[in-house]
Homo-oligomer: A and B are copies of this chain.
């Protein structure tokens, strides 16, 4: 039996005629005619339908389960019936008696086609790739993992044919599984003798078929039948490291978890970490060690949660922003801190996991997605793969907002990408009452346009602040500050209520209407909550948000200009920030261009989803490698128009300009420009990498 996806050339395959039974595989919809007696597994293989098998048709691994749909499928001209498959034979009966088979399930290796069939391949592979609060959409990643488990029975040593143990193993892996020109991980060489003898010459080899060389590799070896192997998909963010543990055979996510990036102790944001490297001789080593240790710790956590031995992890896919990419791989990130922001490596990379000090199976591989540019990293590549703007005709804007915003814009014709220096305001930093999203943080705000009275919700409390019992409910967590998503809301609400003008000035004249408008010397602020602490939105806070949103919008505008378009069809917000903000308010503030609100979606950790896709299907690795080389990279620092867009984008959208779709949903204020407050509304931009 062959599992390399090539059509079988066994005798029974060559006799195919128009009269042979017709077999339809679901959900792929692939179909073909096969002679009576063909095992269902072979039929699936010859059509390229992915059905796992480890034991090579011995009916011992149980991986190749299918079921038969009964009925008259008129559309397909198939009447499918259980009579059209062979009865269970002794091997399958034996498997069932020992390991059990769910109702209706059959082992496809032991089930022969007797007539027309509709075959269900169980989709254990349906993956909820979204780890976000809203609009989680299931996605199916077609499985084509880089690692395959193959059980073989090796000939005993023979003095007449003195081939070595390894060499005889290779012979069987070629004969039974079609692997040619196999290589082997060097650490296995001294173990071969013992493993073969312990398994009484029956062994399971893990074959990695996506090594950076073109030859398949034996990366692990076990005595007897080994029925499971796992993979890790990981996004190393500056703040958080997020990880999935996945069965490489079923595609099932066994466990997901996250942890803080311990590099935070060297610097909160990425630029301060680069500074740390520049100032400390061992700074790079210390940070590399810290992030690798955190990854190892997190692997321990997901393995414990999933009750998996970490040495059963055989493949890993990582994404990261450029600075984390460099630090994780042990590369000095200093060059990324200054023009020309030169990456040491931009292409995809492969390692043995142990070369990066990751403690899993000694033969595990580690694949790092390519970086797009000096500020658009492997994480952005992962998100691009997950959302795949290049696969659709509609114009998609993909935004990942952090300290830098990574922006990808395009469709099947052309894709452009850039990074824009939004600064940390969207994350609550540089905001007077700003804080991280944590219990006690205000996460939702509404302002009554008549009374200018606010109501809000706090993380950890179920009620709005104007509901009965809020004070009691909030007593335990307190009301401690405003998190990033709520800052967008409160400033947008202030604008919609006329508290701030189109050019972002808090209107002091409103103090006459509401005691919530407070005077602070020459400027005014808005009181959200009069407690301990007192939570206000100051003129400087509004300026900080304006600067951030202007940077983001200017970057988007630049890319739209590059593509010669004046609107986008659909918008995807990737990352934690995007998951929590309300698209409407983002648009009211002009973070993003006008768009049908139903087409603005949060996609959660799309970078991690991209890593997961590469883990479960090696084809996605080639896809993103090729795509990254095609994406046109725009460096905002080099574009004179960027500055122009930036200055223009400082103002907030108004009724007249530019946001017709938004105007259908909210009533934007008239143009109203107040005298400037002396805030430094121009040019104050610092380059920061995404957090």
A residues apposed to B, CB below 8 Å: 156-167, 170, 183, 186, 189-190, 192-194, 211-215, 329-332, 335, 339-347, 349, 351-352, 355, 371-374, 633, 635, 637-638
Q: A186-B351, A335-B193 are in contact. Are A344 and B164 (CB under 8 A)?
A: yes
Contact check: which of B164, B215, B371, B374 meets A342 at CB < 8 Å?
B164
Which residues of chain B are within 8 angstroms of A161 by Cβ–Cβ distance? 633
Q: A213 contacts B183, CB within 8 Å?
A: yes
Query: Oligomeric state, in number of copies?
Result: 2
Q: Within the complex, which residue of B163, B373, B637 is in contact with A346, where a contact is CB–CB below 8 Å?
A: B163
Shortest Cβ gap from A218 to chain B (Å): 12
Known contacts: A159-B635, A214-B213. The answer to whether A347 contacts B166 by CB under 8 A is yes
A162-B633 CB under 8 A given contacts A189-B329, A340-B157: yes
Q: Is A162 a contact partner of B346 (Cβ separation < 8 A)?
A: yes
Asked whether B633 lies within 8 Å of A331 as measured between CB atoms, the reply is no
User: Given A163-B346, A164-B342, A213-B213, list of 12 further CB < 8 A pairs?
Assistant: A160-B633, A160-B638, A162-B343, A162-B373, A164-B346, A165-B342, A167-B345, A167-B346, A190-B332, A193-B332, A193-B342, A213-B214
Pick 18 A–B contacts, CB within 8 A, sort by A.
Answer: A156-B340, A157-B340, A158-B340, A160-B638, A161-B633, A162-B342, A162-B343, A162-B346, A164-B347, A166-B347, A183-B213, A189-B349, A190-B329, A192-B344, A193-B342, A193-B344, A212-B215, A214-B215
Whether the Cβ atoms of B159 and A344 lie closer than 8 Å is no
Complex: A189 Cα to B332 Cα, angstroms: 10
Contacting residues, chain B, for A186 (C-beta < 8 A)? 351-352, 355
Q: Which 4 A-B pairs have the closest CB atoms?
A: A213-B213, A164-B346, A157-B342, A162-B373
On chain B, the residues within 8 Å of A352 by CB distance are 186
Q: Do B347 and A190 have beta carbons less than 8 Å apart?
A: no
Which residues on the B side are within 8 Å of A212 (C-beta)?
183, 213, 215
Q: Is the CB of B344 within 8 A of A374?
A: no
Complexed CA–CA distance, A211 and B213 (Å):
9
Contact A345 B183 (CB under 8 A): no
Given contacts A193-B331, A635-B160, is CB(A166)–CB(B373) below 8 Å?
Answer: no
Instruction: Please name all residues of chain B whose beta carbon is closer than 8 Å to the beta carbon of A163 when the two chains form the complex.
Output: 343, 346
Nearest B residue to A635 via CB reads B159
Q: Which of B214, B339, B355, B635 sits near A214, CB closer than 8 Å? A: B214
Q: Across the interface, do A166 and B345 meet the contact criterion of CB distance under 8 Å?
A: yes
Is there an interface contact between B633 and A164, defined as CB atoms closer than 8 Å? no
Q: How far is the CA of A329 from the CA of B166 in the complex (A)?
A: 14
In whole angstroms, how far apart are the Cα atoms of A209 and B183 in the complex? 16
Q: Across the interface, do A162 and B344 meet the contact criterion of CB distance under 8 Å? A: no
Which residues of chain B come closer than 8 Å to A355, judged between CB atoms? 186
> Min CB distance, A335 to chain B, in Å?
6
On whether the beta carbons of A159 and B638 are closer than 8 Å, the reply is: yes
| Interfacial chain B residues near A156, Cβ < 8 Å | 340
A347–B214 touching, CB < 8 Å? no
Q: Are B159 and A339 within 8 A (Cβ)? A: yes
Residues of B within 8 Å of A211, CB to CB, are: 213
Inter-chain CA distance A548–B94, complex, in Å, is 58
Cα distance, A318 to B193, chains bound together (Å):
22
A189 CB contacts on chain B under 8 angstroms: 329-331, 344-345, 349
A346 to B169 Cα, complex, angstroms: 11
For A351, the closest partner residue in chain B by CB is B186
Given the known inter-chain contacts A167-B346, A330-B190, A371-B164, please indicate yes or no for A159 contacting B340, CB distance below 8 A: yes
Closest to A330 in B: B190
- The smallest C-beta distance from A381 to any residue of chain B, in angstroms, reads 13
A347-B213 contact given A193-B332, A341-B162, CB 8 Å threshold: no
| CB atoms of A190 and B157 under 8 A apart | no
Considering the complex, give the chain B residue whose CB is closest to the CB of A329: B189
Contact of A166 with B344 in the complex, beta carbons under 8 Å:
yes
Pick from B165, B192, B194, B374: contact of A159, CB below 8 A: B374
Q: Is A374 a contact of B340 with CB atoms below 8 Å? A: no
- Cβ–Cβ < 8 Å partners of A351 in chain B: 186
Q: Is B341 a contact partner of A159 (Cβ separation < 8 A)?
A: yes
Q: What's the minimum C-beta distance from A372 to chain B, rounded to whole angstroms?
A: 8
Which residue of chain B is the closest to A332 with respect to CB atoms?
Answer: B193
| Inter-subunit contact A345/B164 (CB<8 Å) | yes
The smallest C-beta distance from A30 to any residue of chain B, in angstroms, reads: 32
Expressed in whole angstroms, the minimum distance between the Cβ of A319 and any Cβ of chain B is 16
Residue of B nearest to A342 (CB): B157
- Looking at A190, A340, A345, A638, the one whose CB has the most chain B CB atoms below 10 A away is A345
Q: Which residues of B lie under 8 Å from residue A183 when comparing CB positions?
A: 212-213
Which chain B residue shows the least CB distance to A417? B162
CB-CB under 8 A from A214, the residues of chain B are 213-215
With the chains together, A565 CA to B165 CA distance in Å?
33
Q: How far is the CA of A229 from the CA of B159 in the complex (A)?
A: 42
Query: What is the chain B residue whose CB lies nearest that of A162?
Result: B373
Question: Which one of B193, B331, B335, B342 lies within 8 Å of A190 (CB-CB)?
Answer: B331
Bound Cα distance from A335 to B168, whole angstroms:
15
Contact B635 A162 (CB under 8 A): yes
Contact A162 B215 (CB under 8 A): no
Across the interface, which residues of B come within 8 angstroms of A330, CB to CB? Answer: 189-190
Q: How far is the CB of A57 from chain B (nearest CB, A)?
A: 27
Closest CB in chain B relative to A184 CB, distance in Å: 9
Chain B residues, CB < 8 A from A349: 189
Q: How far does the alpha carbon of A346 sit from the alpha carbon of B189 in the complex, in Å?
A: 11
* Least distance between A686 CB and chain B CB atoms (Å): 17
Contact of A345 among B192, B339, B373, B638 (CB under 8 A): B192
For the complex, give the distance between the alpha carbons of A542 and B329 in Å.
67
How many whole Å from A360's CB to the nearest CB in chain B?
17
Contacts of A215 in B (CB 8 A): 212-214
Report B-chain residues with C-beta under 8 Å of the C-beta of A332: 190, 193-194
Q: How far is the CB of A55 from chain B (nearest CB, A)?
A: 25
